[in-house]
Structure 1
Amino acid sequence: MHSAYRITLALLGGVMLASAHAQMQASMPPSTQHAASPADTRQNVDFPPMLKQKTLATMRMHLQGLAEIQQALAEHRFDAAAQIATMKLGMSSMHGDQMTEEARYMPPGMRHLGAQLHQQAGEFAVAAQDAAVTGDSAKPLLALSRMTQTCVACHATYRLH
């Protein structure tokens, strides 16, 4: 197995674990959240309950997109990986009013990381389309790693409350 691919698998596994942990924490009663995670120093971001649920669903869609991209890359389906990135993580994945509403509640750093992720998805799509011609997966794997790192940075810093 190519070492860059193994690294990407490890990074995605970490994001999936962090997302699962965050989802578990979000569903726990407040009294048990602190007992389960006393060292959680992430910044709470207060969202109205319905918007929080929609935002978490969008984040799960992004995570599913990362998993689908990884599968497509493993199968050398670079055009499919580019399309997935565009539809599930790129600017096309934004949900109009929801995006505007979310931005009202996000601290500037969180907004920056979100915008960065969507921009990186576009960069990944270009790298994957190039790989469809060249067969070289190094650039899309690096771009996927950058997207994953952005997800990790956001989830390590912020917590929807």
Structure 2
Amino acid sequence: MRKIMYAAAALALAAAGTAVAEDHHDHMEMMSKMVKDARIEVDVPGPMKAKMLANMRGHQEAVAEILAALGKGDGAAAAKIADARLGANSPGAAACRPDAKSGAQGDMPMMMASHMPDEMRALGMTMHMQATKFAEEAAKVKQGGDLRPALAELGQVVQACNACHAAYRLD
């Protein structure tokens, strides 16, 4: 009789736990529907969206490589990565440049710029210009030298990325 009572109690607890978990899941789903993403939607055609997302992932990869170089104390390598892949004159900066809409940077940057709000492009250019400042600071770091000034500049690069991602999202 005791075994039956224990089994019944265990079954009741399991059922109650399942019900609580389902209620929690339903509650979380309802909350996610109630919380609206307040970022500005940027309507970009599919292939261009893929290109923009690939550019941004490339920026993330560059930051990771920069951090790895700084971790080794190699400011010169970090500077080279930043300048080539994130800096104001890097290919990824072309759509953010002030003259991008004119076609001066090429067809793809012009098309991308035509879909980006001016404020979004300005935030992007801020990131690229800050990356150039970082590259200049990182180039000064000698093996075993003080990384703090370079890291402070790199922090500004990431903050510029965060500001854009907080304000905009691709549709």
TM-score interval, smaller chain? 0.7 to 0.9
C-alpha deviation, 1:70, in angstroms:
0.8
The answer to whether the aligner puts 1:158 opposite 2:156 as a matched pair is no
**Contact 2:76–2:139 (Cα < 8 Å) also in 1:** yes
C-alpha deviation, 1:86, in angstroms:
1.1
Alignment gaps of 5+ in structure 1? 1-31
Aligned Cα root-mean-square deviation (Å) = 2.2
Of residues 43, 56, 76, the one that matches 2:53 is 56
Higher relative contact order (CA 8 A, sep 6+): 1
Secondary structure of the 2:44 match is coil
Give aligned pairs, total.
129
Cα offsets for 1:51-93 (capped at 9, x unmatched) = 0000000000000001111111111011000011012211223
Identity %: 41
**Alignment map for 1:20-39 (pairs within 5 Å):** 38-39=35-36
TM-score norm. by structure 2 comes to 0.69
Query: 1:122 and 1:54, CA in 2 relative to 1: closer, same or farther beyond 3 A?
Result: same
Alignment gaps of 5+ in structure 2? 1-28, 95-105
Equivalent AA in structure 2 for residue 149 of structure 1: Q
**Contact 1:78–1:131 (Cα < 8 Å) also in 2:** yes
Flag the structure with larger Rg.
Answer: 2
Equivalent AA in structure 1 for residue 36 of structure 2: A
Which whole-Å CA distance do the structure 1 matches of 2:62 and 2:123 have between them?
17
- In terms of fraction of residues, the more helix-rich structure is 1
TM-score norm. by structure 1 comes to 0.73
Of residues 71, 78, 82, the one that matches 1:81 is 78
